[in-house]
Chains A and B, each alone.
Chain A
Amino acid sequence: EADIYQTPRYLVIGTGKKITLECSQTMGHDKMYWYQQDPGMELHLIHYSYGVNSTEKGDLSSESTVSRIRTEHFPLTLESARPSHTSQYLCASSPTGTTREKTQYFGPGTRLLVL
């Protein structure tokens, strides 16, 4: 079982609030990812990191930002939440080495509802 954690699991918040979704992994993986998933839809990559102080935007445009100060921690921040940000956010990590041969390990997700 993968050791990757996300908090909070569920969050209901008002428009305009700043929120941070936490993601931590204890496997020492260098690579970490954030995906956004709407109900019944595909996962879309919004941010990824290949190591400390490395962050990149994914395919889906997102108003969120991320940071990678420690290997095990990859938080995602929304400065001003809007109803359009309502979604499920999934964090994942993968081991060092060629991604061709290795899977990604996923956290349980955070379900965000912005009122």
Chain B
Amino acid sequence: KQEVTQIPAALSVPEGENLVLNCSFTDSAIYNLQWFRQDPGKGLTSLLLIQSSQREQTSGRLNASLDKSSGRSTLYIAASQPGDSATYLCAVYGNKLVFGAGTILRVKS
């Protein structure tokens, strides 16, 4: 059974800091890994999708890496802003999408 763990559970940083969110998964037989953002009162928004054959994906200030063999992914956020405050969810797709519990990020101005 696939299990997805995200560390840390919560993170508070001052504006402008670069930060890293971690995701690990137990079964490396995945087709892709995705990072989502969840805002209070809103649904999930897909940030980055990394195919199993890829090592990383970038979108703006976000960079996600994937090491399938070790079952790990990181989401790097550069120059964090208060608007980045949200819950970040990692999900892996094998035969279905399995989510981690998320990292609650607060960026202080």
Residues of A within 8 A of B (CB): 2, 4, 6, 9, 33, 40-45, 48, 58-59, 90, 92, 99-101, 103-109
CA distance A99 to B92 in the complex (A): 12
**A59 x B96 contact (CB < 8 A):** yes
Interchain Cβ contacts within 8 Å, total number = 55
Residues of B within 8 A of A (CB-CB), count: 25
> A48's closest neighbor in chain B, by CB?
B96
Residues of B within 8 A of A (CB): 4, 9, 31-32, 34, 36, 41-46, 49, 51-52, 89, 91, 93, 96-102
Which listed residue (A43, A100, A108) contacts B41, Cβ 8 A? A108
Residues in chain A near residue B51, CB distance under 8 A: 100-101
**B4 x A42 contact (CB < 8 A):** yes
Which listed residue (A6, A33, A90, A103) contacts B49, Cβ 8 A? A103
Which listed residue (A6, A45, A108, A109) contacts B97, Cβ 8 A? A45
CA distance A108 to B43 in the complex (A): 4
> B87's closest neighbor in chain A, by CB?
A40
> B10's closest neighbor in chain A, by CB?
A40
With A100-B32, A100-B51, A100-B93 as given contacts, are A4 and B43 in contact (CB-CB < 8 Å)? yes
Residues in chain A near residue B102, CB distance under 8 A: 40, 42
**B93 x A108 contact (CB < 8 A):** no
**B101 x A40 contact (CB < 8 A):** yes
> A99's closest neighbor in chain B, by CB?
B93
Residues in chain B near residue A33, CB distance under 8 A: 97
Q: State the Cβ distance, B74 to closest chain A Cβ, in Å.
A: 19
